[in-house]
């Protein structure tokens, strides 16, 4: 759909409080700083010990960047007309601390309230790994280790189905599910709605051809994230991994079509029947990326890009590897 914007909110639920007067907001900021100095520092100690100071500082910076973005979006939203709402595809992820079925609807309703929406277009389970419920989105023990929870994701899925039945979401899906985990949902007795899509890491270095074939056979869309090789954030990505957009083969193909390697990487996914997410904070690049609809890669070039696959996962989520539901041990 040309001209449609796809927005994905990365924090669930949005940890923002609403205050009407500026002076109250200032007071809130000051109190938060004080509270964080007194309470949060000891809580982060374990994390610091494990991952080092830069991780914590980076995490705080990321959270404040997200908060600023949400505040700006909420301000704009007040001015949006209902007809504009129809051309924006809004999707949201269910965080790992909300997998218990009794928490799902409440999590969604809180987010809808803060976004000032009546419904969402898409609601997905972010990752099939459950974490301890509570106010902390990344609950950690005193050693800085994430605290796991065990939830039957079929029950989580039933709660997602109930959200759809209640008209709070148009479609429901999953993310980071492997084939076995998708089958677990698809084979659930009494399944009402199957996932419309599975959002997974997918790019020329991890082309997910087997998972793609399986999803197609079940009429589930595969949606690619890290399609441009990720933002290479030091907090999550091993910096020694090769930079996708610097790949010489991708570069040569890009030159041939007089396009950028980024556009070739995006176009590759579209031609495979994949929904592709691309993120940029740069206006020029956002505009450039929409040229993905303006050209076509030949079959031969598609095959050449297929040949770049090395099953390289940028976002390995190593912190979750010990969880019994960890998805990346099989395809
Ligand atoms: N479900 C999950 O577990 C999961 C995990 C990760 C991400 N995601 C989603 O995936 C979406 C995409 O993010 P991502 O992290 O996967 O990143 P990505 O789209 O692979 O890459 C984004 C990076 O590419 C750069 N870029 C964008 N357009 C470019 C162009 N034309 N030429 C050169 N560089 C370009 C951006 O830089 P500039 O900003 O400087 O332009 C940014 O650093 C996010 O919105 C996120 O919600 C989901």
Do 196 and 173 contact (CB within 8 A), yes or no? yes
DSSP run (H or E) holding 5? strand 5-9
Q: Is residue 331 over pLDDT 60?
A: yes
Strand extents, DSSP E, 67-205: 88-94, 120-125, 169-175, 197-201
CA of 275 to the centre of ligand 1 (A): 14
Q: Which of 280, 327, 328 to mutate to test the pocket of ligand 1 (most atoms within 8 A of CB)?
A: 280
Close Cβ partners of 86 (under 8 Å, ≥ 6 residues apart): none
> pLDDT tens digit string along 26-78?
656 666 655 555 444 444 444 444 443 343 444 445 555 555 665 666 566 55
CA of 230 to the centre of ligand 1 (A): 5
Cα distance between residue 211 and residue 192, in whole Å: 23
> pLDDT tens digit string along 270-308?
999 999 998 899 999 999 999 999 999 999 999 999 999
> pLDDT tens digit string along 226-272?
999 999 999 889 999 999 999 999 999 999 999 999 999 999 999 99
Cα distance between residue 262 and residue 278, in whole Å: 10
CA of 27 to the centre of ligand 1 (A): 35
Cα distance between residue 331 and residue 328, in whole Å: 7
Looking only at the bridges linking them, the beta strands covering 197-201 and 120-125 are unpaired
Instruction: Answer whether 177 contacts ligand 1 (Cβ < 6 A).
Output: no
Nearest to 131 by CA among 330, 331, 324: 324
Nearest-CA residue for ligand 1 atom 36 is 280
Nearest-CA residue for ligand 1 atom 31 is 285
CA of 310 to the centre of ligand 1 (A): 20
Nearest to 84 by CA among 167, 188, 5, 2: 5
Instruction: Answer whether 285 contacts ligand 1 (Cβ < 6 A).
Output: yes
Nearest-CA residue for ligand 1 atom 4 is 225
Instruction: Answer whether 245 contacts ligand 1 (Cβ < 6 A).
Output: yes
Ligand 1 atom showing the smallest separation from residue 200 Cα: 1
> pLDDT tens digit string along 198-222?
999 999 999 999 999 999 999 999 9
pTM: 0.80
Helix 153-165 × helix 101-115 angle, to 10°: 40
Helix 248-257 × helix 261-271 angle, to 10°: 90
Which residue(s) pair with 125 in the sheet? Answer: 94, 174
Ligand 1 atom showing the smallest separation from residue 93 Cα: 1
With bands split at pLDDT 50, 70 and 90, how would you rate the model's confidence at 172? very high
């Amino acid at each position: 759909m040309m001209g449609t914007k796809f927005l994905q909110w990365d924090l669930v639920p949005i940890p923002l409080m609403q205050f009407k007067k500026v002076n109250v907001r200032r007071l809130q900021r000051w109190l938060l700083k004080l509270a964080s100095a007194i309470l949060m520092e000891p809580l982060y100690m374990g994390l610091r010990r494990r991952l080092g100071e830069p991780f914590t500082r980076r995490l705080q910076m990321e959270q404040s960047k997200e908060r600023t973005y949400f505040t700006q979006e909420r301000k704009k939203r007040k001015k949006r007309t209902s007809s504009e709402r129809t051309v924006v595809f809004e999707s949201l992820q269910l965080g790992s601390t909300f997998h218990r079925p009794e928490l799902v609807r409440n999590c969604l309703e809180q987010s809808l309230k803060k976004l000032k929406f009546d419904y969402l277009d898409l609601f997905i389970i972010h990752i099939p790994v459950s974490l301890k419920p509570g106010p902390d989105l990344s609950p950690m023990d005193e050693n800085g280790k994430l605290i796991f929870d065990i939830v039957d994701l079929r029950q989580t899925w039933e709660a997602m189905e109930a959200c759809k039945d209640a008209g709070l979401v148009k479609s429901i899906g999953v993310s980071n599910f492997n084939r076995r985990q998708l089958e677990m949902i698809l084979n659930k007795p009494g399944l009402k709605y199957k996932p419309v899509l599975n959002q997974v890491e997918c790019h020329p270095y991890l082309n997910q051809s087997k998972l793609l074939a399986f999803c197609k056979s079940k009429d589930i869309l595969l949606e690619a994230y890290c399609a441009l090789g990720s933002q290479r954030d030091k907090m999550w990505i091993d910096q020694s991994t090769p930079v996708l957009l610097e790949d010489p083969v991708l570069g040569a193909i890009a030159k041939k079509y007089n396009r950028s390697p980024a556009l070739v990487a995006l176009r590759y996914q579209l031609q495979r029947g994949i929904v592709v997410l691309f993120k940029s904070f740069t206006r020029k690049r956002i505009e450039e990326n929409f040229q993905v609809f303006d050209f076509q890669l030949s079959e031969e070039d598609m095959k050449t890009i297929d040949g770049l696959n090395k099953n390289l996962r940028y976002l390995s989520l190593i912190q979750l590897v010990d969880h019994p539901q960890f998805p990346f041990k099989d395809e």
